[in-house]
């Protein structure tokens, strides 16, 4: 059951550029799937065309970080879930430019994907970088990272799989730490905050946070 008012995204309008539309028209049939087109469990090995660990990125934005991660870890299958076609189109431009073969794209809400179309223990990792913080207290109920969400993510992780979160909002970071620490199947790899992994690309949200004087926090939990 969906948590009332909770989505893995904020609704906003984004138009595709001519280049994004071109790769959508030519490359989407191979690389992408729309959530409403899925029927039952997704066969990830068939979709990627190979057996390899799959990492799900929830909210891939404009795809630059996803593309960098895919380039540096070609042995991993990278599944990017995003609701905005422009972001997915831009990611496909990166895929085309760097000739990446280990990226697939899901257009739709990642909560529905996790709940309805991914089998238990099918993922080697889940990454959520700078989700919308909903900073106003009355909007906190709309935040993505809740106990029910973390329980769902944990159920889809393989033993040894990781949940990696990053945020630049202190209150949200503290709440993430509290929620993930309370999930019995997850263990914090560090006492509290993880050191910033050098391999995690600097996103525009992180750069803006630094410019505005906010510190960024990473959390890395492992499935037991």
Domain annotation for the chain: domains and CATH numbers: 34-223 (3.40.50.150)
- Write out pLDDT tens, residues 34-92: 999 999 999 999 999 999 999 999 999 999 999 999 999 999 999 999 999 999 999 99
- Write out pLDDT tens, residues 187-211: 999 989 999 999 999 988 899 999 9
How many degrees, rounded to 5, is the angle at CA 187 between CA 179 and CA 163? Answer: 70
What is the pLDDT averaged over residues 15-38?
96
Give me the residue label for tokens 């087109």: 37
Are the beta carbons of 104 and 48 closer than 8 angstroms?
A: yes
Distance CA 163, CA 221 (A): 5
What is the pLDDT averaged over residues 127-145?
91
Q: Any idea which residues carry the catalytic annotation?
A: 132
């Amino acid at each position: 059951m969906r948590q009332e008012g909770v989505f893995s995204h904020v609704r906003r309008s984004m138009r595709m550029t001519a280049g994004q539309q071109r790769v959508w028209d030519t490359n989407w049939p191979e690389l992408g799937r729309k959530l409403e087109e899925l029927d039952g469990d997704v066969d990830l090995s068939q979709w990627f065309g190979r057996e390899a660990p799959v990492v799900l990125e929830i909210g891939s934005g404009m795809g630059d970080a996803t593309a960098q991660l895919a380039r540096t870890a070609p042995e991993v299958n990278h599944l990017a879930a995003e609701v905005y076609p422009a972001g997915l189109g831009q990611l496909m431009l990166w895929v085309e430019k760097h000739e990446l073969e280990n990226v697939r794209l899901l257009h739709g809400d990642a909560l529905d994907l996790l709940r309805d179309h991914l089998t238990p223990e099918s993922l080697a990792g889940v990454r959520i970088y700078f989700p919308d913080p909903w900073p106003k207290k009355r909007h906190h109920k709309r935040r993505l990272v809740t106990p029910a969400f973390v329980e769902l993510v944990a159920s889809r992780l393989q033993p040894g799989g990781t949940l990696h979160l990053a945020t630049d909002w202190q209150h949200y970071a503290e709440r993430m730490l509290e929620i993930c620490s309370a999930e019995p199947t997850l263990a914090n790899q560090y006492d509290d905050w993880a050191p910033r992994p050098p391999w995690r690309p600097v996103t525009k949200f992180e750069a803006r946070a630094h410019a505005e004087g906010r510190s960024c926090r990473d959390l890395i939990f492992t499935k037991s």
